[in-house]
Amino acid sequence: MLFNSVIFIAVFLPIALLGWYVLQRLENPAPAKTFLIGMSLWFYGYYNIGYLWILLASLAFNYVVSGLLDRHKGSRGLLTLGILGNLGLLFYFKYFNFFIDNCNFFLHTDIHLEKIALPLGISFFTFQQLSFVVERYKGGAPHYSILDYVFFVSFFPQLIAGPIVLHSELIPQLQERKNRRFSASVFYDGLTLFILGLAKKVLLADTLAVLVNAEYANIHALDAPSAWIVICWYMAELYFDFSGYCDMARGTAGMFGFRLPENFDSPFRAASVREFWRRWHMTLSRFLTRYIYIPLGGNRKGKARQCVNLLAVFLISGLWHGANWTFVLWGLMHGLAVVFETLFPKVRFPKEWMNRLATAVFVTLSFSIFRSDSLSQAALLWRRLFAGGNTGMFLGICNVLQFPENYVLIKLLGTWAPAALNPLFVFCMILLSGLVILFLSGRTAEQWIAEKGGTPAGTFWLGTLFTWSFLSLSQVSVFLYFNF
């Protein structure tokens, strides 16, 4: 089920909230937990009920491993079993086709295999449970009740695309009795964050996607200026799409009285690639640092080993995002950039804005490969970026900017003043680009809520954004990170 859908906003969410708070009145917390677990399974199975058994099997396996670790504390064998079980599940569904395709290519074999569908959210709930198994082995997590554990993993706001939550961030909130009471202020803040995230997704990301999707399917026709516009718009689309999802996830959790960790902190203000990863997909960076980088030795074994560890982490990050050589190359680029910054920390531009601009350009170029379907498509795109000339394609890409909001105006101009259509599309391009820059450099959603959320003007804008976004749900699109 999608956050940006009528059934979620008008049916699922009201039922879930009503049932949760009514059942919270009972002395026994088990019915409320069971109810919300059931709603979370409905939420997950709604997209494809066939994926539900994979989630349930993963939950059962990890809970059994956790129980065994309670009896056999510090067992390396059980830790290995838990890690291999989780990675094996992820490898089969996410990477097995990739593995077979590369075997056929490099070894000249002819293995035929029906494509294995990627279950929704498998990367997120697998990493979340991996972290729990490791913490159980280290003695940093107790063996929770079955209800608490299943709730921790399946809680629907963060189940499909994060943020990647640690047991210590959610289960204590679930067990704390004071958190079972309804709080109007907490609920309002959660609702406000949800609305802002919905607007990011529906009004910004989906609008930018119109041009990005059209032109990524038409790369051979792009010239240099239009190619640069396309990759910049994709970078903005990805940010508004994923951060919008995370805002909706955190806002929804807030309406139930739970606080989830932040996943974005104004990443385009970063003045280095290392800083970018402290601000972008923060819970993934935390996971990779805590469970891969530090166990490999981190920065404790000299510069050479540190650089190898950094490259390993970023290559794993690339593969985590998808089974394609484009993701491997993308991860390698970021790894090499961070290694360079580690070895030469004083190599910087004299002005901070110059470092921010250089970081933004690098990140945008690298994510153009991330978006490409193949290395050959990425190579073609880069040829257009740096050797595409200027053929006047700018007007061509502007002409795809046709939305419900400008539909009537386009029809009127097409009938009475067709010569004004091109200026209108150029105006739409400039307006959207300006809004992107404004929102990327402005306050975060939570900063805006703290400053404006409770004011009459803030309430008016929230109502306007919600109404506009809800009326635009006829153009529902999935979140980009559902693919990862």
Question: Could you list the active site residues?
Answer: 321
Q: Among residues 404, 449, 453, which one has the least CA distance to residue 428?
A: 404
Give residues with Cβ within 8 angstroms of 425, minimum separation 6. 395, 398, 399, 401
Give the position of tokens 């009285």.
257
Give residues with Cβ within 8 angstroms of 305, minimum separation 6. 297
**Residue 294, SS3 per DSSP:** coil
- Please give the Cα distance from 18 to 25 (Å, whole number): 11
CB-CB neighbours of 184 under 10 Å: 7
- Please give the Cα distance from 228 to 20 (Å, whole number): 48
Q: Which amino acid is at 104?
A: N
Q: Give start and end residues of each alpha helix (H) in 299-420.
A: 303-321, 325-343, 352-371, 375-387, 393-398, 407-416
- Please give the Cα distance from 190 to 249 (Å, whole number): 9
Helix axes 167-175, 122-138, angle to 10 degrees: 80
Residues 120 and 40 sit within 8 Å (Cβ to Cβ): no
C-alpha distances in angstroms, 287 versus 39, 280, 283? Answer: 27, 13, 6
Please give the structure tokens belonging to residue 83.
């890690």
- Please give the Cα distance from 440 to 423 (Å, whole number): 26
Give the position of tokens 């991860």.
331
- Please give the Cα distance from 235 to 231 (Å, whole number): 6
- Please give the Cα distance from 314 to 188 (Å, whole number): 38
